[in-house]
Amino acid sequence: MAAKITLPVTNPQGYYEMRLESIGGLGANLSGKILGELGALYLGLNSANFASYGSEKRGSPVKSYIRWCAPEQEILINSSIETPHLLGLFHERLAGKIPVMAGVKPDAVVIVNTDQSVDVMRDRLKMHGGTLCCIDALNLAIEAKTRVNMVMLGAIAKASGFIPLDALEEVVKDTVGHKYPAALKSNLEGIHKGYNNITVKRFEPDGKYPYQEYKELERDWGYDNSPIGGINPIYGNTISNDLTASREGYIPIFKKDACIHCGMCDTTCPDMVYQFVKGEFKGKPSMVNLGPDYHHCKGCLRCVEVCPTDALTAALERDHDIWKDHVRNQDLVLEKMEFEEVGPNSWMRSESNIENELKY
Ligand code: SF4
Ligand code: SF4
């Protein structure tokens, strides 16, 4: 067990506070639990952790909160963390319409999963001031054959300036290591890669961007104004179902010529990604597979496993720049949705459906 530590900084209530902002599927909830256990069981602190998310599925916004204090003090509050000392952003696309930077003061440390530079990310985040750390957690996780959250945990430990690497290793061995022993080596490698590869830059508040006050996200649509059936235009929810940001580096590639239109991929895919239309196959009327609509694909690769003809193969998303750029630049909230009525027989098209119709 690592030695007890003294928190280097606390708020007036005596708490050191961390907030993780993520997208369902990237493992921020588990990271929060691990940090919660780390504080209480390995650093000699008092610790509390809880997470906030909507439907328990990939693609939805996730927040995880961790509060630490000295062992002689009790944690008497269980509220969301508004002005964190440390903020972890598990996906760069969170910079934009979701106010992830709210409450980040100049004494805060921000860690972002991105392959962009700290200067580019400061502008994208409109960061008032503080210490910004960038880590290419997605690609480092692919290299280590682990998940984004392990790399982010290593980066968070390093960026904090006081979380010992050996204590983090211990908690990971005793938690996910017990549950998934075969993945322990890769998970520890991911933590080391995160710890050793952050890029850090300090930005003084220079007036370039104003301080962003913390406020709860306001919804345009609610129970009193959404059409029957409900609409939640935030990514990953209901009909917009944008799962691009929850992918962890892999996508299925569709080879139309090898497809026999058997529908196995469509039956298997949990998110109805495949687009079938009436057509012809071998001179007979048939439903024809147009391929995946990547807008809705979370990259689980189950479709690749079931395809009987190798018409679907797994590929690294980063090798396909068109999708990488699409993911980076796409807004999280769909601007273009076309509706034909609302209710049980309605349909909608997102811009990605329309793109694919043109593409194929
Ligand atoms: S499982 Fe393979 S062959 Fe069958 S429809 Fe899907 S892509 Fe085509
Ligand atoms: S990888 Fe395949 S099965 Fe998984 S969500 Fe994407 S299209 Fe569906």
Structure pTM?
0.80
Q: What is the pLDDT of residues 192-216, one digit of tens each?
A: 999 999 999 999 999 999 999 887 6
CA 114–ligand 2 middle distance (angstroms) = 23
Using pLDDT thresholds of 50, 70 and 90, give the confidence band for residue 222. low
**Segment 212-226 mean pLDDT:** 71
**Could you identify the residue written with the tokens 């938690």?**
175
How far is Cα 45 from Cα 2, in angstroms, rounded to an integer? 12
Q: What is the pLDDT of residues 98-119, one digit of tens each?
A: 788 999 999 999 999 999 999 9
Share of the chain above pLDDT 70, in %: 78
Share of the chain above pLDDT 90, in %: 55
CA 298–ligand 1 middle distance (angstroms) = 18
Ligand 2 contact, 300 CB (< 6 A): yes
Domain ranges for the chain, please list them: 16-203, 244-359
Q: What topology is assigned to 16-203 in CATH?
A: Pyruvate-ferredoxin Oxidoreductase; domain 3 (3.40.920)
Substitution candidate for ligand 1 out of 305, 312, 313 with most atoms within 8 A of CB? 312
**Segment 171-183 mean pLDDT:** 91
pLDDT for the residue 319: 80
Q: What is the pLDDT of residues 66-99, one digit of tens each?
A: 999 999 999 999 899 999 999 999 988 787 667 8
pLDDT for the residue 324: 55
Residue 241 has pLDDT above 80, yes or no: no
CA 127–ligand 2 middle distance (angstroms) = 35
Q: In this predicted model, which residue has the larger pLDDT, 40 or 54? A: 40
CA 289–ligand 1 middle distance (angstroms) = 7
- Mean pLDDT score of the chain, rounded to an integer? 83
Q: Which helix (H) or strand (E) holds 350?
A: strand 347-350
Q: In this predicted model, which residue has the larger pLDDT, 312 or 99? A: 312
User: Closest Cα partner for 146 from 197, 192, 189?
Assistant: 189
Please give the structure tokens belonging to residue 164: 């010992």
Residue 284 has pLDDT above 60, yes or no: yes
Task: State CA 273 to chain mean position distance.
Answer: 20
Residue 285 has pLDDT above 50, yes or no: yes
Instruction: Outline where 126-263 has alpha helix (H).
Output: 137-144, 148-160, 165-174, 176-179, 184-196
pLDDT for the residue 49: 96
Query: Which CATH architecture describes the domain 244-359?
Result: 2-Layer Sandwich (3.30)
Q: In this predicted model, which residue has the larger pLDDT, 128 or 238? A: 128
pLDDT for the residue 20: 96
**Segment 159-169 mean pLDDT:** 97
